[in-house]
Every structure is written in structure tokens, then in C-alpha cells.
Amino acid sequence: MRKKLTPLLSALVLVSAGATADNQTGLESAFTAIEPRVIEWRRDLHANPELSNREFRTADKVAAHLRSLDFDEVATGIAHTGVVGTLRGGKPGPVVALRADMDGLPVLEQTGLSFASKAKGEYMGKEVPVMHACGHDAHVAMLMGAAEVLAENRELLAGTVKFIFQPAEEGAPPGEEGGAELMVREGVLEGPDTPEAILGLHVWPDDAGSLGYRSGSFMAASDGIEIKVTGRQTHGSSPWLGVDPIYVSGQILAALQGIPGRHIDITKGPAVVTIGSIQGGVRGNIIPDDVTMLGTVRTFDMGERERLLERLEATVTGIAEANGASASFTITGSNPVTGNHPELLRAMMPTLVRAAGEDRVFEGNLITGAEDFSYYQEKIPGLFLMLGVGDPAVPREQRPSNHSPFFTAQEDALIVGVRTLVGFALEYPGSNAL
């Protein structure tokens, strides 16, 4: 359930949209000075990525930076490796939060960059390559840059800013908790400096320096699923003597793809069912006892989400039973829908235009990817924006996507992210009125 804006913010939304005062006047030299440092931090972080809940070096670097800026408070070890810094401005005003995620992915980098990752990590008991294939290195560097600009100009800041450096956005390792959900549970949005709004940025393959938004739902809710089909092992030459879970799994796979298009009201938003992992058997002449499938379900409407999950489970268990097998359907983790609070978005639109330029702020399409930023938005109004980092000289469809081993960022876009973060802190409705 989305939270309402505070009465003060609600009253200021309409006048804020027409405001012409640029609260970043005089900060141009600060942005110019910080840009090369942001790029330097990004390259260092890119070369040294860490997996979810293992962001030890990254957290140490962030905490040391915030302390060097004489932050009022710097808390570490939140949700395992999270860092939260508190900066109080020179004038009274509201509390807002800015968030960056810190973790990398088990991906072998193939960008050919001079600072490409050669890092290794452990994932599910195996040594794996690690890469910032989703741009979290850029997220951290931009928020570090915003922290420095605001700390050096705190006399302009009316209110308080909480800087949330979050681990495990990509998902905690099996058997662990983590990410935004755990940070919220551990009180990052509570206490004497409780934020009333939050901003998050995510780099995206759109044209470098652009800002994409969508009022209301923007990124899908995501549910991880595990399907285990249990049959009875037998020799491959005599399938009638056992129950073949591989054959049953094939029927389930085919049936699952028909459910979104035939049983769900797609006028309320698209739905996607994907099975990305199938494990079963060790030899070609042995029918195994069981098969395990892992996948995700993406939706934009909470009512249709419930209907889809119920239909998926009924289909899985029904097909298994019809074949003499049994099956379990388990939801392994969930993220709610991520979006943009309509009133807050409207109020902050002038800030976005100042940060990126009027011709570079645009309404984007629904994104079926998911983000755990939604857990903050369940508590307070929030904005989640896509910062374009793609090379405009390359056709959009040919640009590597997030999670690709070729994904990278045009570094001249990062200062737009810094401007956006700083602008939100300085120009959030209510800051100027107090």
C-alpha cells in the first residue's frame, strides 16, 4: 500500500511545479570538481565488485568517505554490510533519503575495459567470476559524489538527508536474508531522522544522460518460484516401470506459458512466467526420481498476481497428479511493484529537468525487471528513475542490457545522476518553505 504525502508536501505540490528558483545555483563549480572523482570511484568499484551480503570492501570505502565529510552519523553493518550516513543541513526542514545498491553479480565480464573486473567470489558453494553487470558501481559512485557536494554546501540544505548504501539488491544468497526488506526491518526508515520521501536511480541502456520515469507502476513485482516434480526412478529402457519426472516437467513447462495469456486479465498489466533452471538426472539411460525447476513470475497488478500464482500451483500439481507423480510449488522470494508516487513525481519534475535538460526527461515503458526499492516505497513516497548510460551512437536494440557480460556505462552520464540526487535533497517540496 502506497503511503500518502505529508500534509505539508500535499499543500506544496501545486506551487512547487511552477517554481522557477534553481536551488543548485552556485553549485556548478562543485559539480565540475566532483565529476572526475565520481568516475574514479566508479572505475575502482567496477574493478573490485563483491557479491550480495559480501560487500565488505565497498562498505568500508563508503563509510570512510562519509566520515571524511564530517557526516553527523555514519552507521555500518546494517542488513549485514549496509551503510547509512546522516547529514543535517544548515537550516531546518524535512528528512529525505537517497539510496544506492552496492552488490555485483556472478557474471564473467567481457567488456574489454581497462578496469574490467577480474574478481572472484563464492556463490552456492562454487567459485564464480564477479562483475558489476547491473551498474551498481555507478550507483554507489554517484551517491558518494552527491554526499560530497551536499556536505560541502550544507548551508544550502534545509533539512536532513539519509544516505542509504544497500547490500544485496540482487538477492541474498540461499539461506540468508538481505537487501531493502532487511534494511527496512532493521529500522533504516525509523528513528529521530525518519525520512518522508526517498529517491533511487538505476542506470539503464537509454541514451546517456537521459532520465526515464513512469507515474505509478514502473517495474514489475517479482516472485521467485521453485517447482519440484517427484516421480519414481527406473531404467531408461523401461519407463512404464517408474514415473518419469522429466516427461511430466515438460508438460508443466508447456502449460505454464499459456496461463498469462489465457487465464489472466492482461489489461491490468502484463505478466511473464520464466523457468530459467532445470535440474534432474545424471545419465541418459536412467529416469531420475525428481526434477527441480527454478523461475520467476513478473506482474504489475497485485490482484492478478495472486490469481496467477494460484493458477500456476494448480496447474503444476494437477499435471503431476494426472501422470502419477507429485509436485510442490514454492515461492522463494518476492519484490513488490516499484514505481513513482504521482504527486511527488509531479512536484519534482522541474528538478529532473534542471538535472538532465528538458529534452532528456521522458516517460518510459513498463519494465518487467524488478527492484527491491519497492520495500522502501511501501513505507514512504518514493521516486525511482532510470538514468540513461547507453552510447547514443549505437542503436538502442544493440546496446548490452543490464546483467549482460558486456554491460557498461557512458561515464559522462554519471554527473546527471549526481545532479538529480543533489537536486532532490535541496528541492524536495517543503525544504524551501521552512
H-type alpha helices, 113-177: 136-152
Which pLDDT score is estimated for 24?
58
Residues shown for the chain: 434
pLDDT tens-digit map of 183-224: 999 999 999 999 999 999 999 999 999 999 999 999 999 999
Region 25-53: mean pLDDT is 95
Which contacts of 317-326 are long-range, i.e. CB under 8 A and separated by 24 or more positions?
319/248, 319/251, 319/252, 319/255, 320/229, 320/230, 320/248, 320/252, 323/231, 323/243, 323/244, 323/247, 323/248, 323/251, 324/231, 324/243, 325/229, 325/230, 325/231, 325/243, 325/245, 325/248, 326/229, 326/230
In this structure, the strands spanning 82-88 and 126-129 are unpaired
Which pLDDT score is estimated for 88?
98
Amino acid, res. 182:
L
Among 67, 68, 47, residue whose Cα is nearest residue 58 = 47
Which pLDDT score is estimated for 429?
83
Query: What are the structural domains, with CATH classification, of the chain?
Result: 7-217+337-427 (3.40.630.10), 221-334 (3.30.70.360)
Which pLDDT score is estimated for 26?
76
Which pLDDT score is estimated for 98?
98
Weakest-pLDDT range from 20-24, 236-240, 285-289, 336-340: 20-24
User: 12 or 391, which is more confident?
Assistant: 391
pLDDT tens-digit map of 58-112: 999 999 999 999 999 999 999 999 999 999 999 999 999 999 999 999 999 999 9
Is 8's pLDDT higher than 90? no
Among 59, 27, 256, 301, residue whose Cα is nearest residue 150 = 27
Model confidence at 10, in pLDDT bands (50, 70, 90)?
Answer: very low
Mean pLDDT score of the chain, rounded to an integer? Answer: 93
In angstroms, the CA 149 to CA 67 distance is 14
- Percent of the chain scored above 90 by pLDDT? 91
Region 115-141: mean pLDDT is 97
Which pLDDT score is estimated for 124?
87
Is 408's pLDDT higher than 50? yes
pLDDT tens-digit map of 146-158: 999 999 999 999 9
